[in-house]
Structure 1
Amino acid sequence: MSIPDYQSLMLPVLEIGASGESSVPLASDAIAVRFGLTNDEREQMLPSGKQRVLHNRLHWAKFYLTKAGLLESPKRGRFVITDAGRRVLASPPTELNTKYLLAIPAFRDFYRGEEEAGAADPVMEAEPPAATPEEVVDAAYKALQAALRDELLGRILQNSPAFFEQLIVELLVAMGYGGSRLNAAEQLGKSGDGGVDGVINEDVLGLDRVYVQAKRHAPGSTIGRPEIQAFTGSLVGLGASKGVFVTTSAFSAQAIDFVSRIPQRVVLINGKRLTELMVEHGVGVRISRIVEFKRLDEDFFSEDE
């Protein structure tokens, strides 16, 4: 069974609070058993990698129930049911969710923020999302990143082979290879069939070298094993042990399997990975907007005994 969304966890969390004082870590064990979650599901992390999905959803279920006055926090990190919560459990609704909580004035005032009383907000009138706020933010971020990568690949293919050469130079330098842009350009500046081929220093001092080949192909085409074999043959001829093959398209399964079986260390970078690296290292992109989220600083409020 998949991990329940935070609204589906509201009633179980309220029932846990009715059995005595509890916490999110303690509740997670009971919830995992109740819903038959696997170990992988218990340990699954948010895309940010900073919190378990189950803990995040339990936190928001508990938080919303607390804002509705159905739970209270007797001390840091703990929760327990209130008299109002017991009344709800005495006659439980068919669904205990955000829509139900919005009928409670205290929660409605919190959920709508500082809007004037009685002012209709079309966003708040819509069905509340099943995902937690962090999940909504993470999903929006992933969607924007995917759109950006797709746009990057499209622009690369629209530009000239010479531009593609310069792009590879910029990316490798941004990743710490080749020393300076001038040095990298000198070594990777050989024009070919829409790509670049050459040897580049792995570090600023040139203690080791990497052979680079890049192919600018339209999406849908595939780099097969024969091209990778030819590339590794060039490595052997140069006495090199490391190589990077970059393409705007993709690699066949046979090509990927081949590089896993050879003694040389060859890294394959397809179009998707190329655009990911461009975004990660700030090549061809710039910051459009910064959204900063703050959280409570527990250390600030800790008093020495």
Structure 2
Amino acid sequence: MSIPKYDELRMSALKLLADGRTMKLKDFLDPLAQEFKLTDEEVNEMYPSGNGHIFYDRISWALSYLNMASLLDKPGRGLYTINSKGLEMLKNKTPEYINQFVDHEVAKRDKIKKVNKNPEIKILDINERSTPQEKLYTSFNNIRSSIYDEILSTILGKTPAAFEKLVVLLLQKMGYGGEVKNSGLVTKQSNDGGIDGIIKEDILGFGRINIQAKRYRLDIAVSREEIQRFVGALAVAQSNKGVFITTSYFSKGALEYVENLYGNTTVVLIDGKELAAYIYDYGLGMQVEQTIEIKKMDTDFWDSMADQ
């Protein structure tokens, strides 16, 4: 039997969690391999690049889609458990209905609201009419988006203090603070005055970037009032530079308020999707899993050769 596609694995993976247990990704390997009667060679088959097992990767995508459809929860990194919605689906709905539901829910995540920049993850569709290059780029973007989702889920499982430390490290990673020793500071929670972190831009500390970090659920917007309080905190700190970072998104009122700020005060807003992208792009807590090199013909080289 050939290795099942990720969408063929979804129902079986969901049923394995029906007893309420919490499983790691690797725990799905043996029971699913037995169910689909896979040989050891098929279970251990790797991608042509030699980097990654096909079956393991497809299980991972199946679980990701179930999680995006809110049928599974991730209580910790690499852990999966079924929730009440998933149990209800298994009890009352057919496999065909559940698969259609998952596809529908994932497709909905394509429609990211432009107004509030809600950091939902965009999964792009690959169709048979796509060129090989288009399929490659689409697959890359889907993998990247899946990692964004994992980054935000992981952050939400950490403490607010850990998040404050993370955003200070991120701004340093992005080059703010330069060569200044100990340029990043997380303020004491008991007396932070509305400032969660500070980046010193020069050795004497004349230039400072003040940070506020809000570790909110993805569906909770940061309001205009919260931005106003942050601007007030900047005034008390005699600072004209601020960065407000959240795991969620900013309300329309918050965005409009920042756009209409007058004077010398500059506030930069970073929502959850942008935060995940910066963490990914600057490699904070990330590892390079695989590098693919694609080459094209050098037309100048070949054109310089005599034609027959």
State TM-score, norm by structure 2.
Answer: 0.52
Bigger relative CO (Cα 8 Å, ≥ 6 apart): 2
- Residue aligned with 1:230, SS: helix
1:291 to 2:289 alignment:
no
Counterpart amino acid of 2:215? R
Partner of 1:88: none
Unaligned runs of 5+ in 1: 1-127
Report how far residue 199 of structure 1 moved. Answer: 2.7
1:135-182 CA distance string (max 9 Å, x none): 111111111111000000000111223321221122111101134696
Where in structure 2 are the equivalents of 1:5-84 lying within 5 Å? none
Report how far residue 196 of structure 1 moved. Answer: 6.4
Larger Rg: 1
1:178 to 2:177 alignment:
yes
Partner of 2:207: 208
Partner of 1:163: 162
Report how far residue 203 of structure 1 moved. Answer: 5.7
What is the alpha-carbon distance in structure 2 between the residues aligned to residue 130 and residue 243 of structure 1? 47
Counterpart amino acid of 1:213? Q
1:270 to 2:271 alignment:
yes
- In the superposition, relative to structure 1, how do residues 130 and 143 fare at CA in structure 2: closer, same or farther (>3 Å)? same
What is the alpha-carbon distance in structure 2 between the residues aligned to residue 184 and residue 158 of structure 1? 27
1:217 to 2:216 alignment:
yes
- In the superposition, relative to structure 1, how do residues 235 and 132 fare at CA in structure 2: closer, same or farther (>3 Å)? same
What is the alpha-carbon distance in structure 1 between the residues aligned to residue 136 and residue 284 of structure 2? 24
- In the superposition, relative to structure 1, how do residues 180 and 214 fare at CA in structure 2: closer, same or farther (>3 Å)? farther
Report how far residue 269 of structure 1 moved. Answer: 0.7
Counterpart amino acid of 1:258? Y
- In the superposition, relative to structure 1, how do residues 133 and 162 fare at CA in structure 2: closer, same or farther (>3 Å)? same
What is the alpha-carbon distance in structure 2 between the residues aligned to residue 192 and residue 154 of structure 1? 27
What is the alpha-carbon distance in structure 1 between the residues aligned to residue 299 and residue 229 of structure 2? 59
What is the alpha-carbon distance in structure 1 between the residues aligned to residue 233 and residue 195 of structure 2? 14
Report how far residue 250 of structure 1 moved. Answer: 1.2
Counterpart amino acid of 1:130? R
Structure 1 window deviating more from structure 2 (230-239 vs 197-206): it is 197-206
- Residue aligned with 1:155, SS: helix
Report how far residue 193 of structure 1 moved. Answer: 11
What is the alpha-carbon distance in structure 2 between the residues aligned to residue 304 and residue 210 of structure 1? 57
- Residue aligned with 1:214, SS: strand
Counterpart amino acid of 1:228? I
What is the alpha-carbon distance in structure 1 between the residues aligned to residue 157 and residue 148 of structure 2? 14
Partner of 1:54: none
What is the alpha-carbon distance in structure 1 between the residues aligned to residue 271 and residue 191 of structure 2? 17
Where in structure 2 are the equivalents of 1:191-202 lying within 5 Å? 191=189, 197-202=196-201
Partner of 1:135: 134
Report how far residue 235 of structure 1 moved. Answer: 1.6
State TM-score, norm by structure 1.
Answer: 0.53
Contact 1:157 1:218 survives alignment (8 Å)? yes
Unaligned runs of 5+ in 2: 1-126
What is the alpha-carbon distance in structure 2 between the residues aligned to residue 220 and residue 139 of structure 1? 26
Counterpart amino acid of 2:209? V
- In the superposition, relative to structure 1, how do residues 289 and 139 fare at CA in structure 2: closer, same or farther (>3 Å)? same
What is the alpha-carbon distance in structure 2 between the residues aligned to residue 205 and residue 178 of structure 1? 12
- Residue aligned with 2:242, SS: strand
Kindly report the root-mean-square deviation, in angstroms, between the aligned alpha carbons of the 2 structures. 2.7
Counterpart amino acid of 1:138? Y
Counterpart amino acid of 2:188? K
Contact 1:190 1:196 survives alignment (8 Å)? no
What is the alpha-carbon distance in structure 1 between the residues aligned to residue 180 and residue 199 of structure 2? 11
Contact 1:169 1:184 survives alignment (8 Å)? no
Structure 1 stretches of 4+ moved >4 Å: 192-196, 203-207
Report how far residue 295 of structure 1 moved. Answer: 0.5
Counterpart amino acid of 2:283? G
